Amino acid sequence: MFTVSELTGLLRVSIEEQFPDFWLEGELSNLRAPGSGHVYCTLKDRTSQIRAVLFRSSAVRLRFALQEGLQVIVRGRLTVYEPRGEYQIVLDTVEPKGVGALQLAFEQLKERLAAEGLFDQDRKKPIPVFPRTVGVVTSLTGAAIRDILAVLRRRWPTLHILIAPVQVQGEGAGRQIAQALADLNDWGSVDVIIVGRGGGSLEDLWSFNEENVVRAIAASHVPVVSAVGHEIDVTLADFVADLRAPTPSAAAEAVVPVLTDIVERLRELTVRTGQVMLRHCAFERQRLDAGIRGVTDVRFHLQEAAQRTDDTVDRLRELVQQLLTFAREQVHKAQRDLSGLNPILTIKQGLATVPQFSKRLEGLVTGCKYYDCHLLICSLRKRAI
């Protein structure tokens, strides 16, 4: 006779010996992830189901998030959970069916970060036209750094280049890349950053899909150019970067112009500017000459007007002189006429008596408005009496 515990233990040993390692396909359901970090679920098909557990040590290695209804292929061992007498699978590996784990993780993380707005075009910063210092985040041993340096030095020999060497694949690569981006931002004098590596498989490029790297690029206040792999390779760093270059060499070409082209362009602009200035000076000289001619014409007209004014003044002076001469003659004539009427002269000449003269003079000056003449007549009358 067995006890329940003894029977359950024997069944566990027997089951574990018969099914130590196997693959199983099913659909995930009843997912539960408590604070312990273990993941509990049920694997089912159309007619049956079996409990499964993914312990924390295996769960942390998953590249993607487990979801309800996800079709998976799992690898594990069969055992019995003795407290409840239930058999279950202890999972070691979980792979999504029909798509690789990395590809599924890529799509899941891309969807989540896009929902946060990290890939929005309006948050991307412009690349400076003439950077003075370029930061480069890549491995010192790869071909990417050689290509980048060769292009930068050829296009702009006086450029300052600051290299942050990092591991670009493997465990801890994402953490190093994120830290290098933060360090270059803290440096303070970097104008643009190139982050990338040469080509490789999805597994090789995976560090540039890690969430901490994507968020470090998004948090950078310095413009970031992504140069990961070849043109056909796509990573999440490409979506969040301010500019995506198809190759590391193309990234170097995108961040700096060709110095000799700039110098030649400046020379052409200098020549064109000189030509424009000469044409402008010639045009302004013509305008000035026309203005001078206009001023000369005005001065000539002013001189003519001044001469006409002098002639008019001379004629007026002559006319006034004639009028004064005529008036003077009239006054002299009037004086002579009045002198002939002077009674004193008449009396002295014995030509008339005073009474007769008084009457005669009074008749001549009848209606006279001059007060002096009236006084003279009155005075003569008194003397005659």
pLDDT above 60 for 25: yes
Instruction: Enter the DSSP assignment of 360.
Output: H
Note the pLDDT of residue 216: 96
User: Residue 347 and residue 354: Cα distance in Å, rounded?
Assistant: 7
Helix (H, G, I), strand (E, B) or coil at 250: helix
Q: Name the pLDDT band for 94 (thresholds 50, 70, 90).
A: confident
DSSP for 75-124 reads: EEEEEEETTTTEEEEEEEEEEETTS-HHHHHHHHHHHHHHHTTTT-GGGP
Superfamily per CATH, domain 4-98: Nucleic acid-binding proteins (2.40.50.140)
Tell me the per-residue pLDDT of 353-366, one tens digit each, with 9 for 90 and over.
Answer: 445 545 554 554 45
Of 190, 150, 40, 4, the closest CA to residue 180 belongs to 190
Backbone φ and ψ for 29, nearest 5 degrees, come out as -155, 165
**Do 362 and 354 form a contact (C-beta atoms < 8 A)?**
no
Cα 119 to Cα 112: distance, rounded to the nearest angstrom: 11
Instruction: Name 217's Cβ contacts closer than 8 Å, sequence gap at least 6.
Output: 181, 195, 224, 226, 237, 240, 241
Mean pLDDT of 237-261: 92
Banded pLDDT at 178 (limits 50, 70, 90): very high
| Higher pLDDT, residue 353 or 36 | 36
Does residue 383 carry a pLDDT above 70? no
- Tens digit of each residue's pLDDT (9 = 90 or more) over 41-53: 989 888 888 999 9
Tokens of 148: 């980048």
Give 318-373 pLDDT, tens digit per residue: 888 888 888 888 878 877 777 766 666 666 555 444 455 455 545 544 544 444 44
pLDDT band at 223 (very low <50, low <70, confident <90, very high): very high
Tokens of 25: 């396909």
**How many Å apart are CA 45 and CA 65, to the nearest integer?**
21
Residue keyed to tokens 């290299």: 163
Of 76, 78, 79, nearest to 93 (Cα)?
76
**Closest to 229 (Cα-Cα) out of 203, 252, 199, 209:** 199
Residue 218: pLDDT above 90? yes
Q: Under 8 Å CB-to-CB from 158, ≥6 apart: which residues?
A: 259
Q: What is the tens place of the pLDDT at every residue in 251-301?
A: 999 999 988 878 888 888 888 888 888 888 888 888 887 877 766 777 777
Confidence check: pLDDT of 163 > 80: yes
pLDDT at position 369, please? 43
What CATH code would you report for 107-257? 3.40.50.261
What whole-number distance in Å separates Cα of residue 31 and Cα of residue 12?
24
The pLDDT value recorded for residue 161 is 95
